[in-house]
Amino acid sequence: MKNLPLAIDVVEAKTSKIDSVDFDNLVFGNVFTDHMMECDYIDGQWQNPVIKPYGPIQLDPSAKVFHYGQAIFEGMKAFKDDEDQVWLFRPMENIQRFNKSSKRLAIPEFPEDLFLEGLETLIDLDRDWVKKGFGTSLYIRPFVIATETGVSASPSKKYKFMIICSPAKAYYSGDVRVFFADKFSRAADGGVGYAKAAGNYGAQFYPTNLAKEEGYQQIVWTDANSHEYLEEAGTMNIFFRVGDKLLTAPTSDRILDGVTRKSVLTLAEEFGIEAEVRRIKVSEIVEAAEKGELKEIFGSGTAATINPVKGFGNKGKKYELPQLEDSYASFFKKKLMEIQYNKAEDKFGWRYLVKSN
Ligand SMILES: Cc1ncc(COP(=O)(O)O)c(C=O)c1O
């Protein structure tokens, strides 16, 4: 997509909040850095973006985002290496997916190179917030919302694009047990499942709360038609290890094309781990578990990188997974993190150095 000749204005914060932050006790996504990026879409075009001190925005109560949910977002991370260099991981994947999501929600696409330039300028400005340490990172949340006033059900003519950033420590989600969906659905054919549409997430909270009451932390969504095929989890793609073979569902218009997922598949090929991308039946996973052939389930996603699953529930039965010394989950997590933190060769060109001004 061609960039518009727009300049990014930078207004630096007069003081920094950084000294008031307890970096050892961060709760994921609760603290934000000193700056944010903001860009409005008015009169059919994106205006000059500005990077400015982080703070509240003012919206009219009739802004369309509140009424029709025209909102999409992304999630990505920056990492600091031992030499204080800051890196992004495959940022163009997120930028392109952002625009794919926008298109589906009738939101105008954001120029890719302006996105990357703004992101880089913002991260450079807040680089002290990217702390060192394996597992420590800066979580980056770009999003766009419909801001036109008026409650008529039609696409907004005004939008606000923003990027906000939140320091994150190593992600530990505790023991995760998942429930295979048999009633509720996350996405349907022809729907918005492949987009990071805000409403996809809001709609999962209620069924996930019900699953929590039964002792599960996450739901693995199944196809909406039959509930026979396993698709993806709340904010993660999902992998199954049966014997020594890795299985994951193909992406479709119901499943998010996860950056971590595709990176795992590339690494599996590199390291000679057999991986099959195909539809996976609930019944085959249950059968494999009953025969003792199901060795692992793990989720892949930006927040946790790789999240091992301890057990699952299906049709009133609970299954526990074995604890493995040489799990694929820890293998892929280590390999991915070594690339992200500049501790291993970047064979596939996934790292992106944030230039320093
Ligand atoms: C629904 C869903 N599936 C999968 C993922 C994992 O994608 P990624 O690896 O790009 O973070 C996410 C998180 O972005 C998600 O929200």
Tens digits of residue pLDDT in 11-65 = 999 999 999 999 999 999 999 999 999 999 999 999 999 999 999 999 999 999 9
What is the pTM (predicted TM-score) of this model? 0.97
pLDDT value of position 2: 47
| CB 166 near ligand 1, within 6 Å | no
In testing the pocket of ligand 1, which one of 200, 231, 235 has its CB within 8 Å of the most ligand atoms? 235
Question: Quick check: 258 pLDDT over 60?
Answer: yes
Whether 300 lines ligand 1, by a CB cut-off of 6 Å, is yes
Using a pLDDT cut of 70, give the percent of the chain over it.
99
The C-alpha atoms of residue 201 and residue 143 are separated, in whole angstroms, by 14
Distance CA 320, CA 257 (A): 28
Residue 95's closest CA among 70, 71, 121, 114? 114
pLDDT band at 6 (very low <50, low <70, confident <90, very high): confident
Residue nearest atom 5 in ligand 1 by C-alpha distance = 236
Tens of pLDDT, residues 146-157: 999 999 999 999
Q: How far is the CA of 97 from the centre of ligand 1 (A)?
A: 11
- Distance from the CA of 187 to the center of ligand 1, in angstroms? 14
User: CA 136: distance to chain centroid?
Assistant: 16
pLDDT of 31 reads: 98
Q: 248-280 as b/e, with b when 16 or more CB fall inside 10 Å?
A: bbebeebbbebbbbbbbbebbeeeebebeeeeb
Q: Is the pLDDT assigned to residue 263 strictly greater than 70?
A: yes
Question: What is the residue with the minimal CA distance to atom 12 of ligand 1?
Answer: 235
- Residue 49 CB less than 6 A away from ligand 1: no
271-286 pLDDT, tens digit each: 999 999 999 999 999 9
Q: Give the pLDDT of residue 138.
A: 98
Ligand 1 pocket member 101 (CB < 6 A): no
Mean pLDDT of 330-343: 98
d(CA 239, CA 99): 26
How far does residue 357's CA lie from ligand 1's centre (Å)? 31
Q: How far is CA 136 from CA 23, 65, 303, 310, 354, in A?
A: 10, 33, 11, 24, 17
- 5 pLDDT tier (thresholds 50, 70, 90): low
pLDDT at 1: 46
Residue 231: pLDDT band (50, 70, 90) is very high
Give the number of the atom of ligand 1 that is nearest the alpha carbon of residue 263.
9
In the structure, what pLDDT confidence band is assigned to residue 322 with cuts at 50, 70 and 90?
very high
Nearest CA to ligand 1 atom 4: 236
Token reading at 348: 């596939």
Q: CB of 186 closer than 6 A to ligand 1?
A: no
User: Mean pLDDT, to the nearest integer, of 181-198?
Assistant: 97
Per-residue model confidence as pLDDT tens digits over 167-179: 999 877 788 999 9
Nearest CA to ligand 1 atom 13: 235
User: Residue 196 CA: which ligand 1 atom is closest?
Assistant: 16
Nearest-CA residue for ligand 1 atom 16 is 235
Q: How far, CA to CA in Å, does 36 sit from each of 49, 90, 92, 95, 222?
A: 10, 21, 19, 17, 37
Check whether 205 has a pLDDT greater than 80.
Answer: yes
pLDDT at 198 over 70: yes
